[in-house]
Structure 1
Amino acid sequence: MQFVLLGFSDLPNLQGFLFAVFSVVYIIILIGNFLIILITSMDPALQKPMYFFLANFSTLEICYVSVTIPRILFDIKVEDRSISVMSCATQLCFFLVFGTTECLLLAVMSYDRYVAICNPLHYTLVMNPTKCTYLAMGSWLGGIPVQVGQTCQIFSLHFCNSNKIDHFFCDIPPILKLACEDTSVHELSVYVVMVVAALPFMLVLTSYSKIIATILRLPTAKGRAKAFSTCSSHLLVVVLFYGSATVTYLRPKSMHSPGTDKLLSLFYTIVTPMFNPLIYSLRNKEVIAALKKLFFKA
Structure 2
Amino acid sequence: MFKHVTTILTLVVGMQALCCMGQENPLGALPMEYNPAFAGQMSSFRISSASGYTFDRGFTTHSQEHFVRSSLSYDQFIPALRTGIGLTAGSGWNQSGYSFNIRSQGLSLSIAPKFSIEGKYTVSPALEIGYGQTNSMWPRYRIDRDSSFDKLVGKAYGISSKAGLLFNSNKLYLGYAVSLFRHTTGSRLLIPARGFNSYLQAGYTFQRSAQSAFSFTPQLVIQISRLSHQPKVHVGVEAYNFTFRYKHVIWGINNAGIHVGWQTEKLRLMLSNDAGVFNRNGADTMYSGNLSFRYVFSRKNQIPGRGW
TM range (shorter): under 0.3
Structure-1-length-normalised TM-score: 0.25
Structure-2-length-normalised TM-score: 0.24
